[in-house]
Amino acid sequence: MKILKEFIVGSKVFFAQKPDYMVHDSDKICIVDRFPSVYKHSCMHMQLDGDDVFMYEQNDKEWFINDILDSATPMKAGKFLIKEFADYLNFTVKDLKRLENVFNIIDPKHKYEKIIYDAYIKNDGYFLTDEQLNNAYEIYKKERNS
């Protein structure tokens, strides 16, 4: 199993520059060439040096879209908000719109992702205004403190 590409994901990507942001963990996605033949799942999760590492086999964007649509874990959709990951898959805002139902049922601690999702759709691009970023951050802090 060889790592082909690695991405930082999660709140750190959006809020690390905020002076009062506290990093509680780091999340990474690793794209690997293959899983061991005995492994039958789409994602391999492990904790490594304090990081949550999620490994996926190399696949195209349709595979990743279907993986999240078939999943019972909406928080897995957050990786699609990371521009670097989206660019890697040639994932567009049009593709992101296909995940609306997933972002609509995301858990409260990840509600900030729904705010970012809505902003990307409104902006028709993978960028946030300062106001949108601040709004997402306020939701993030509120949900983490409640």
For the chain (146 residues), the mean pLDDT of every run of 10, in chain order, is 92 94 86 76 77 90 94 90 97 97 94 97 97 97 83
Q: Delimit the domains of the chain by residue range.
A: 3-145
Which of 141, 89, 144, 99 shows the shortest CA–CA distance to 120? 99
Q: Could you give the 3-state DSSP secondary structure of residue 4?
A: strand
The predicted pLDDT at position 65 comes to 95
The predicted pLDDT at position 9 comes to 94
The predicted pLDDT at position 68 comes to 92
The predicted pLDDT at position 41 comes to 65
Contact assessment for residue 139 and residue 115, using Cβ atoms and an 8 Å cutoff: yes
